[in-house]
Amino acid sequence: MRHQRTGKKLGRDAAHRKALYANLAGALIEHGRIRTTVTKAKAVKPLAEQMITLGRRGDLHARRQATAVLRSRDVVHKLFAEVAPRFKDRPGGYSRIVRIGPRAGDAAEMAYLELVDEEYVASQREERATAAPAVVDEPVEDAAEEPETDEADEAVAEADEVEAEAEAEGEEPADEAGPAADAESEPAEDDKP
């Protein structure tokens, strides 16, 4: 039985709910990503994907159907001119819901509802692949030895050693005073009489 399967009511009457869905879907098309509650995101996602499917059709009747739902000619124009052509080869699943945790005021579960952008996702994967260090097969014996330190750690260790030696001799470390202090302590040749 399919009792009580008509969708979320969200505590609104039909007109208010219809306006909410139109506004959220329009904002998603206009901005590419919106932050809302998980319940609203789940409710508006099918409507937004239907609008993108209309945009992919691209004919006059589809444009009029989208205008009837979204109520904004500017949003419909952006849908048909920019958003729908990005998804021309994608058979569905144009958006995703990414949960971001509870809202500070009332602890409502929040989420991003965003359009899936294949070019962006592919470029992020490529960046991660190039940024990841190459794995080198090493024998297990070598891995158990002392790991190498990077240059920054070596520089810090050297500075600490110099500072410790200077303190042992009773001098001020040169690193803290800096090269400007060394220049001030020795008179320049021009200043000599």
Which distant-in-sequence residues (6+ apart) come within 8 Å of 103 by Cβ?
A: 37, 109, 110
Mind listing the domains of the chain with CATH numbers? 14-120 (3.90.1030.10), 150-183 (no CATH)
- What is the pTM assigned to this prediction? 0.60
Cα angle value 158/160/165 (rounded, 5°): 95
124, amino acid identity: Q
pLDDT tens track for 28-62: 999 999 999 999 999 999 999 999 999 999 999 99
Q: Is the pLDDT of residue 176 over 80?
A: no
Q: Is the pLDDT of residue 84 over 80?
A: yes
Please tell me which residue, 190 or 103, carries the higher pLDDT value: 103
Please tell me which residue, 142 or 78, carries the higher pLDDT value: 78
Sheet holding 109-115, edge to edge: 33-37, 109-115, 95-102
